[in-house]
Amino acid sequence: MESKFTEAYPKAPDEAREANCEKVSGMLDLMIDGEASTEEQTFFNHHIEECVSCFENHQKQKLLKGLVSGHLKRVIVPQSLVQSIKARIQETL
């Protein structure tokens, strides 16, 4: 990714920008879990366009979630389980 990192950040001096980094890093989970509001998303996306380290942190957080959702193997339900459930329900009546 070609970064705009070296360009001067026009709106905020360093301190304000660091505060934004903190805010953004606190929003990483909201973003990867699809729980951020529209305003939060706008703020977040605008910031990571300008900030390489927050951009990278976002990538890493997505990767972590992807490791669980994409690589964790599901266990196979034993074939007898449905029958056991139905049988036990009928027993208890």
Contact residue for Zn ion among 28, 44, 54, 58 (CB under 5 A): 54
Contact 58, 47 (CB under 8 A): no
**Backbone torsions φ then ψ of 37, nearest 5 degrees:** -75, 170
The stretch near other proteins (CB under 8 A) out of 8-16, 26-34, 44-52 is 26-34
Distance between CA atoms of 32 and 30, rounded to whole angstroms? 6
**Backbone torsions φ then ψ of 74, nearest 5 degrees:** -85, 145
Q: Please, what is the minimum distance in Å from the beta carbon of residue 79 to other proteins?
A: 11
Interface with other proteins (CB under 8 A) = 29-30, 33, 35, 57, 60-61, 63-69, 71-75, 77-78, 81-82, 84-85, 88-89, 92-93
